[in-house]
Structure 1
Amino acid sequence: MKRQEESVTSKEHSKHSKIARPAYGNFGRNEWAIVGAPCGKIKALADDLIKGLSADYKCAYVDAHHANTDEEAVLPGRLASGAVAEYTDQIHYHQFDMKRELNAFQFRQLFQDTDLVLVNGNHEQAKAQVVIIDASKKASLQKRLPQLTNIVLFLLADGMEEVYDFLQEAIPDWQTIPVLQLSETGKVVSFFQEQMLQAKPKLNGLVLAGGKSLRMGQDKGAMAWHGKEQRYHMADLLGELCEQVYISCRTEQQAELDVNYSTLTDTFIGLGPYGAILSAFRKDPDAAWLVVACDLPLLDPATLKHLVEHRNTSANATTYASPQDGFPEPLIAIWEPKSYQVLLSFLAQGYTCPRKVLRICEIHLIESANADALLNVNTPEELEQVQLLLQDKTTY
């Protein structure tokens, strides 16, 4: 009977749509379990790494409570009275206690804003591991061999000179894994800095050209400001800075677009630019997306290059402050992978304004040296204004 139930479940699952999944572990995209040493040494190493990395990256640490397991558990605050959750504003930090187990899906939501997660591997697992060679935990480490699926670094504790024989036998390519002294804090921090540089999300480009241009009265993406249709001009500009570039469009538009340009149709229908950005993340959730609207006729290579050069991967997005109101410009912005969950959570609460997301979330806001480059055109009146500006630039 049990086998029949498993078979039915498997068939049901095969009917579900297959979409790209972010490269998460148990807690985040970049996570390392530290194993092979007493908890005190693991905590000390985590402290050193966080001190060395927190200037550039949002760091998190995962551990378990180390009280005597024979002691009776005492619930904090109102949880003892029967509450399921309690939030306390501690002024200098914030505390949220919950009276329930968390699963990997919930952990990923809680840690979505972090750049790296360090895990006490004596209690929790992660998709990559740092193994400390410490004599006091040799037997324990041998029992954890099945958990050592992706070792990236060996650290030799005081008095240890080589990697254990059982590790050499269990890991075919163990000799390619770096080995450092646990006491070489600077080198260990540098190793993780290099790991984070290698994990920097690639940058894709997205030209928003799926609007109906009702206020303009003609397709803004098809207007030729620079000798070719604007959507292709913008795609060419992004091509100098991005690995892959797509023109975002409605399904009915796709057939009329130049086949030499990659297109990306909306899979979040009826949400305008918000849906286009979500559709891009649905295609590649581990990429950052440089998003530009097609109604920016004065946008120049220097302005785009400046944005990319000042990109902050630790923020949800990097964008320009609007010259008109100082608010962030959502449609000339680099949206980092961590913003995908944020966009989805706003949608779940009934919000589809990308600017609102940027105003509420942590972003990197920069100023443009050329305010005209951020000028968009939505109406015939704005069209006349920009045409005059373009004529002036041509004259000079």
Structure 2
Amino acid sequence: MIPNNLPAPTALNGLVLAGGKSSRMGIPKDTMNWHGKEQRYRVADLLAALCHDVYISCRPDQKEDIDPAYGALPDIFPDMGPLGGILSAFNVQKDVAWLVVACDMPLLDEKALDFLVRSRNPASIATTFESPVDGLPEPLVTIWEPGSYPLLLNFVHSGPASPRKFLMQHRISILKPEHPDTLVNVNTPEEADQIREMLKRNRNPE
């Protein structure tokens, strides 16, 4: 819960990062089907329960492939990876916070996202999870507050940058995930096979 002495939070929008080229996977990660629908739409549906507006961040050439029932938000900051998607979202709406989620975390669920939203600290520039892999901030399941936008612009103008490096350099709120497996991302066919086996066991316990 947010302490009473903190500023009132701004509206919260959702952003699904689906513009990656999936070079290691070999097929688009955003269209992989783990739970009955393409992952980009599943994540968007999860965010819709928690956010005011939800958009799918994509490359301009992907826009026509996205179901018109979902809002597509093409990158206007090319060749910046996830940061380009985040900056493009703020360019559309600067006065809201953005709950940004990558499309390559098939175990991420509504409980984890609800925990993040309930733990949101609007006095920080971001509220995020601690990665179970290395203990560093997980930038691709993060609430980015409006105050992060000008800082992000300065950050990218200073040279090659990553959202994780940005978070490590600024005042943020970082949470330990209740279930670390929910933050596992999938980048290769081998990792995908492991997740399929895990999901199969969970659905058909002995």
2:44 is matched with which residue? Answer: 235
1:212 deviation in Å?
0.7
Q: Deviations over 1:157-187 (max 9, x none)?
A: xxxxxxxxxxxxxxxxxxxxxxxxxxxxxxx
Amino acid at match of 1:56: N
2:5 is matched with which residue? Answer: 56
1:345 deviation in Å?
1.0
Amino acid at match of 2:82: P
Q: Deviations over 1:320-339 (max 9, x none)?
A: 00001000000000000000
* Structure 2: gaps of 5 or more residues: none
* Structure 1: gaps of 5 or more residues: 1-54, 58-195
1:385 deviation in Å?
1.2
Q: Please tell me whether residue 376 in structure 1 is matched to residue 185 in structure 2.
A: yes
Matches of 2:109 and 2:202 in 1, distance apart? Answer: 12
Amino acid at match of 2:127: T
Matches of 1:318 and 1:255 in 2, distance apart? Answer: 32
Q: Deviations over 1:47-66 (max 9, x none)?
A: xxxxxxxx834xxxxxxxxx
Matches of 1:314 and 1:389 in 2, distance apart? Answer: 38
1:351 deviation in Å?
3.5
Matches of 1:268 and 1:287 in 2, distance apart? Answer: 19
Q: Please tell me whether residue 221 in structure 1 is matched to residue 170 in structure 2.
A: no
Q: Please tell me whether residue 260 in structure 1 is matched to residue 76 in structure 2.
A: no
Q: Deviations over 1:273-296 (max 9, x none)?
A: 010000000000001000000001
Q: What is the TM-score when the length of structure 2 is the normalising length?
A: 0.96
Matches of 2:204 and 2:58 in 1, distance apart? Answer: 34
Q: How does 1:258-337 map onto structure 2 within 5 Å?
A: 258-337=67-146
Matches of 1:327 and 1:394 in 2, distance apart? Answer: 31
1:369 deviation in Å?
1.0
Larger Rg: 1
Q: Does the Cα contact within 8 Å between 1:312 and 1:364 map onto a contact in 2? A: yes
2:165 is matched with which residue? Answer: 356
Q: Does the Cα contact within 8 Å between 1:56 and 1:314 map onto a contact in 2? A: no
Matches of 2:146 and 2:140 in 1, distance apart? Answer: 16
Matches of 2:197 and 2:132 in 1, distance apart? Answer: 19
1:388 deviation in Å?
1.3
1:352 deviation in Å?
2.2
Matches of 1:351 and 1:252 in 2, distance apart? Answer: 24
Moved >2 Å (runs of 4+): none
